[in-house]
Amino acid sequence: MLLIHPVRTLPSFLLPLAGVLFVGGFSITSYVWALAGLGVAVLFALVRWATFTYVIVGDRLETRRSLISSSVRTIPLERVRGVDVSTPPMHRLLGLAVVKIDTGASGGDEEAELDGVTLAEAERLRAVLLRRARTADNAAHSATHQAAHADARHPPSAAPTTSAASAASAAHAPAGPSQHVVMRVPRAWLVYGPLSGSYLLTPFALAGGAVGLAVQWGNDLGLGRDAAFSAGEWLWGHPYLLLVVALLLVVAMPFAGGLMYAVFTWDFVLLHRDGYLVAERGLINRRSVSLESRRVRGYEVVEGLAERWAGVCRVWAIVTGLGDSETRGQLLPVVPRVTATQVTADAIGPYQAELRPHPPVARNRRLFRAVFPWLVLAATAVAGLWLTGTALWWFLLAPALLLAAVGVPLGLDRYASLGHGYDGTRLSVRSGSLRRSQAVVEQRAVVGWRVRQTWFQRRAGVYTVTAGVGAGKGGYSAVDVSGEQAAGLPAEVTPSWLSPFLTDHPDRTTTQP
The reported pLDDT for the residue numbered 235 is 64
pLDDT exceeds cutoff 70 at 348: yes
Contact between 354 and 421 under an 8 Å Cβ cutoff? The reply is yes
| pLDDT value for 133 | 64
Q: Own/partner pairs for 249-252, CB < 8 Å, 24+ apart? A: 249/203, 249/204, 249/207, 252/203
CB 107 within 8 A of CB 130: no
Question: pLDDT digit string (tens) for 193-207?
Answer: 888 776 666 666 666
Its CATH class, for the domain covering 52-177, is mainly beta
Give the pLDDT of residue 207. 66
CB 142 within 8 A of CB 128: no
Q: Which residues on neighbouring strands pair with residue 179, listed in sequence order? A: 273
Residue 134 to residues 118, 430, 443: CA-CA distances in angstroms?
24, 33, 23
Look at residue 303 and tell me whether its pLDDT is greater than 70. yes
Residue 383 pLDDT > 80, yes or no?
A: yes
Q: What pLDDT is attached to residue 454?
A: 94
> What is the band of 28 on the pLDDT scale with cuts at 50, 70, 90?
confident
Tell me if 83 sits within 8 A of 126, measured CB to CB. yes
Instruction: Give the best-scoring range by mean pLDDT among 85-94, 177-186, 354-363.
Output: 354-363
pTM of the model: 0.74
Q: Rounded to whole angstroms, how far apart are CA atoms 478 and 431?
A: 8
pLDDT tens, 69-79? 778 888 888 88
pLDDT at 12 > cutoff 80: no
Domain locations along the chain: 4-50, 52-177, 187-265, 360-416
What pLDDT sits at residue 155? 41
Residue 360 has pLDDT above 50, yes or no: yes
pLDDT of residue 421: 95
